[in-house]
Amino acid sequence: MKNPLYTLKSGSMIENYQINRVLGVGGFGITYQAQDLNLNMAVAIKEYFPHGLAVREADGQTVGAKSKKDEHIYEYGLQRYLDEARTLAQFKNQSIVRVSRYIEKHGSAYIIMDYEEGVPLSRYLMRCKKLTEVEIKNVFRPILRGLTHVHDKDFLHRDVKPSNIYLRKKGLPVLLDFGAARQALNQHGRSITNLGTHGYAPIEQFTTHERQGPWSDIYGVGATIYHCMAGAAPITALDRVSALHDGRNDPMQAARQLGKKTYSKELLDAVDWMLGVRTKDRPQDINEIVNVFSLTSNEHKTILTETDVDWDAELIAQAERHLANYLGPLAQTLVKQSMSKSTSIEDLYRILSQHIDMPTERDLFLRSVQASSSLTSKIKKGKALRNQDIADQKTVATTRITDNMVKVLEEQLASQIGPLASMLVKQAVNNGSNIESIIDILCLELPTEEQKEQFRKQCVF
């Protein structure tokens, strides 16, 4: 991304945080990826920089009002920004971006947040256009639960849209970029950006006549789901209200019409309800609709494939876990969809890797999943050998596995095969019944008898 002149330069310092690059520029602020030099970890920092109101001074850091007449409104927005940071810091929910602290400095304010690797839902939709019903439920069920947590504290998001839903590489989707401070600034008398994002914002965000509440965020969620079904955002609330005011039909095609051949009636009816033009025509509370987003027993079942491959359930589960590191909650659905196109487990891995954008990450996925597959096969052979041996024994010696034993196993195996040792040891510990069987499993990873003998000698407990 190009670095506009008004953004902080790479290497700039905000206390112990070093700016690395710009992640995004919005109407109300600039988001950076930075490094916490004390903890040696990546963070995201959002800087208060309202477009049209703020300028950066010649020193490259100090921010202030664009003109004398803008000073009052700039300061008002800054205080609301800090209020929002204090509120966000109270939220402890996996689907709400975690705020660790805020800093008031250089005439601006900086919100320090967890940095998450992943992709915005908006970018994912640019590639795949639409989501299946299972994907919609996997993405929006945790988002709705997160919003419930927000609403319980009498707070609103006010800007739910695809670009503010982030699909983590690891973990649940997360809701970003609350619009409450921007809303307060607009209502105070200076429009920084539109009160809401057209297509996703309800009518009450464009007028002072209607009170905002949880139903306002519900509209944004409904509009975002509609986009996931239709491949594009719904018609703006302003155009819908204008048409209805003139006695014309609602220009937005109902979800139950556009998706009747693809989605369940229950889900389509819920989306139409969420997109009610008038506030009273929508659910007033998320609890009224959240159950619609629970997976049914059929959706939990494994999909039968057209290729009639005898799939190993353990290998499929491993593929889902590895893919979730890159694509989050969409991994399960992609695996099941790809199974119908695959003729072998290796073919499945290849097809799944094509959903990962970065070549280096794609290669890492293939290496990891193939290593797990190889280990699983060897573990099963090891178990068979152990079971045969145990059948001839009257007693089996058992030894409690300690952390120190695991550490020794990892160190000794790493000296022979490198960085995969830690993962292989953890899986062997989960599958072995005692220290002897764990060592047997790990020896299957070593190619020569000499290496196996050396490993056994180093792992005497």
Whichever domain contains 43, its CATH number is 3.30.200.20
179 part of a folded domain: yes
Residues 406 and 370 reside in one and the same domain:
no
**Do 140 and 279 belong together in one domain?**
yes
Q: pLDDT per residue over 224-260, tens digit each?
A: 999 999 999 999 999 999 999 999 999 999 999 999 8
Instruction: Count Cβ atoms below 10 Å from residue 58 Cβ, excluding itself.
Output: 6
Between CA 234 and CA 226 the distance in angstroms is: 7
346 or 266: whose pLDDT is higher?
Answer: 266
In this structure, which amino acid lies at residue 263?
Y
Q: Are 296 and 325 in contact (CB under 8 A)?
A: no
Q: Considering just the CA atoms, what is the radius of gyration of the chain in Å?
A: 27
Cβ(65)–Cβ(71) under 8 Å? yes
Mean pLDDT calculated for residue range 114-136: 87
Structure confidence at residue 397 (pLDDT) = 43
Dihedral sign, Cα of residue 357, residue 362, residue 368, residue 369: positive
Domain count along the chain: 4
The closest alpha carbon to 29, from 61, 59, 8, 51, belongs to 51
Q: Which domain holds residue 49?
A: 13-114
Rounded distance between C-alpha atoms, residue 372 and residue 378, angstroms: 10
The DSSP secondary structure of 53-115, one letter per residue, reads TEEE-TTSS-EEESSGGGHHHHHHHHHHHHHHHHHHTT---TTBPPEEEEEEETTEEEEEEE-
Share of the chain above pLDDT 70, in %: 84
Please report, for residues 311, 368, 419, 445, the alpha-carbon distance to residue 425 in angstroms, rounded to integers and kept in the order given.
25, 14, 11, 10
Do 218 and 327 lie in one domain? The reply is no
Look at residue 170 in the predicted model and tell me its pLDDT: 66
CA distances in angstroms from 146 to 72, 159, 227, 396, listed in the order given: 34, 14, 20, 49
Bridge-based pairing of strands 165-168 and 174-175 is antiparallel
Q: Is the pLDDT of residue 380 over 60?
A: no
Segment 206-221 shows an average pLDDT of 90
pLDDT bucket at 363, cuts 50 / 70 / 90: confident
For residue range 388-427, list pLDDT tens digits in order. Answer: 554 444 334 445 788 889 889 988 888 887 766 777 788 7
Q: Are residues 64 and 168 in the same domain?
A: no
Q: Six-digit token pair at 102?
A: 């805020």
Together in a domain, 136 and 284: yes
Distance CA 195, CA 204 (A): 10
Q: Which of 203-212, 327-336, 387-396 has the lowest mean pLDDT?
A: 387-396
Q: Which of 412, 422, 459 is nearest to 439 (CA)?
A: 459
- The predicted pLDDT at position 391 comes to 47
Same domain, 365 and 424: no
Give domain status of residue 5, yes or no.
no
CATH of the domain at 139: 1.10.510.10
Domain end, chosen from 232, 263, 295, is at 295
Extract the tokens encoding 461: 């407990």
H or E element at residue 443: helix 435-443
pLDDT in tens, 11-57: 999 999 999 999 888 778 899 999 999 999 999 999 999 888 899 99
Categorize the per-residue pLDDT at 364 as very low, low, confident or very high, splitting at 50, 70 and 90: confident
How far apart are the C-alpha atoms of 206 and 199, rounded to whole Å? 12
206, 208, 212, 218: CA torsion to nearest 10: -20
The torsion angles phi and psi of 246, rounded to 5 degrees, stand at -85, 5
Q: What angle do CA 55, 59, 60 make, to 5 degrees?
A: 60
**Which residue bears the tokens 């306002």?**
216
Residue 197 buriedness (CB in 10 A; 0-12 / 13-18 / 19+): buried
- pTM given for the model: 0.64
So what's the pLDDT on residue 316? 81
- The tens digit of pLDDT for each residue in 272-321 reads 999 999 999 999 999 999 989 986 655 544 332 334 455 677 778 788 88
Tokens read off for 428: 């062997």
pLDDT at 191: 47
Question: Are 131 and 242 members of one domain?
Answer: yes
CB 425 within 8 A of CB 442: yes
Look at 112-126, 188-202, 228-242, 441-455 and tell me which has the smallest mean pLDDT.
188-202
- Show the tokens assigned to 198: 């057209």
Claim to verify: residue 87 and residue 204 sit in the same structural domain: no
Least confident of 65-69, 88-92, 296-300: 296-300
Single residue among 94, 114, 134 that ends a domain in this structure:
114
Whole-number pLDDT of residue 301:
41
- In the predicted structure, residue 59 carries a pLDDT above the cut 60: yes
DSSP string, 106-146: TTEEEEEEE---EEEHHHHHHHH----HHHHHHHHHHHHHH
**Of residues 377 and 15, more confidently modeled:** 15
Q: How many whole angstroms from its chain centre is CA 158?
A: 19
135 and 283 in a single domain? The answer is: yes
Task: With respect to residue 3, please indicate whether it lies within any of the assigned structural domains.
Answer: no
CB 428 within 8 A of CB 438: yes
Query: Residue 180 — pLDDT band, cuts 50, 70, 90?
Result: low
Segment 349-357 shows an average pLDDT of 83
C-beta separation of 199 from 223 below 8 A? yes
